Amino acid sequence: MGQKSLIYSEPLTSRGTRKVLAGLILLYHTFLCVKNFHSGANLFDLFNNTPH
């Protein structure tokens, strides 16, 4: 009986850690985007350099 409860509770905890990891990755990604934007707006330079 104890093993069954462990098996059922494990996916819930792993799902929670996955959510936390995804949130951290998202925060880090936005931080990098902001950093790149402040360092020279590479993305906007790319858009401006493309012929219209």
Q: Read out DSSP for 1-52?
A: -HHHHHHHHHHHHHHHHHHHHHHHHHHHHHHHHHHHHHHH-HHHHHHHHS--
Q: What is the pLDDT of residues 5-51, one digit of tens each?
A: 555 656 667 778 888 888 998 999 888 877 776 665 566 666 666 66
What is the extent of the structural domain holding 22? 2-49
Structure token digits, residue 2: 């104890």
Total number of domains in the chain:
1
pLDDT given at position 39: 61
- Tell me the whole-structure pTM to 2 decimals: 0.44
